[in-house]
């Protein structure tokens, strides 16, 4: 048997091939969340963050509203974006004993009735500026907010969000109102 020496080009091809194969892990389900999967993301631990970095801890609560039937809405974030709107994010928890449907949260405004069980009836109120800001809508009249809030079982928590037109620069103290729930004072952060 005769062994031939391989030139530098063959070594380069072998290295490139090995790198390409190691980068293509076959796409099988290895139990790890994909980088684009927001449903499986976890907050980075404090060990992952350099010291002095502001906290993005999702357990920080801006406000909490408790309504009838054991329904709790927790607001975690209210951010002014450069696009001229404010996004409010949080969660809804059914601490009651019956299934909850957010039918009454769509509000009385006819234009957003297409949104169904949603937070379309949410309003941001600027008491100092004496203005109300309603949830934004898409071109079909549906709210830019969480929809499909039906059949929420006791003990279940679901995320929610709503987008509003931004109040004037410098206005940060607002009141978040949702039909059937007590109002909550929130502070808008710059995005």
Regarding predicted confidence, which is higher, 187 or 42?
Answer: 187
Nearest in space to 143 (alpha carbons), one of 107, 167, 91, 176? 107
Task: Please state the pTM of the whole predicted model.
Answer: 0.66
**Which CATH class, in words, describes the domain spanning 63-190?**
mainly beta
* Euclidean distance between CA atoms 24 and 45, whole angstroms: 28
Give the least confident one: 14-23, 50-59, 108-117, 176-185. 14-23
* Euclidean distance between CA atoms 88 and 186, whole angstroms: 9
Q: Encode pLDDT of 38-93 as tens digits.
A: 333 333 333 443 333 344 445 688 899 999 889 999 999 999 998 899 999 999 99
Query: Domain residue spans in the chain?
Result: 63-190
* Euclidean distance between CA atoms 162 and 4, whole angstroms: 68
Q: Which DSSP state fits 145?
A: B
* Euclidean distance between CA atoms 94 and 98, whole angstroms: 8
Q: Where are the beta strands (DSSP E) in the chain?
A: 63-66, 71-81, 85-94, 123-126, 131-134, 157-165, 173-177, 184-187, 189-190
Q: Encode pLDDT of 120-179 as tens digits.
A: 899 999 998 899 999 999 888 888 999 988 999 999 999 999 999 999 888 899 999 999
* Euclidean distance between CA atoms 119 and 121, whole angstroms: 5
């Amino acid at each position: 048997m005769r062994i031939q020496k391989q030139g530098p080009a063959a070594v380069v091809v072998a290295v490139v091939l090995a790198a390409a194969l190691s980068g293509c892990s076959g796409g099988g389900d290895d139990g790890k969340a994909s980088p684009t999967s927001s449903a499986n993301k976890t907050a980075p631990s404090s060990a992952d963050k350099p010291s002095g970095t502001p906290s993005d801890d999702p357990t920080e609560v801006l406000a909490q509203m408790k309504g009838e039937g054991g329904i709790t809405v927790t607001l975690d974030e209210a951010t002014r974006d450069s696009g001229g709107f404010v996004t409010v994010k949080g969660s809804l928890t059914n601490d009651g004993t019956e299934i909850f449907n957010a039918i009454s949260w769509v509000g009385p405004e006819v234009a957003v009735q297409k949104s169904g069980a949603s937070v379309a009836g949410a309003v941001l109120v600027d008491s100092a500026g004496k203005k109300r800001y309603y949830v934004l809508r898409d071109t079909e009249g549906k709210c830019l907010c969480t929809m499909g809030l039906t059949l929420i079982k006791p003990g279940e928590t679901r995320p929610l969000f709503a987008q509003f037109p931004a109040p004037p620069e410098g206005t940060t103290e607002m009141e978040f109102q949702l039909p059937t729930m007590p109002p909550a004072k929130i502070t808008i952060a710059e995005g």
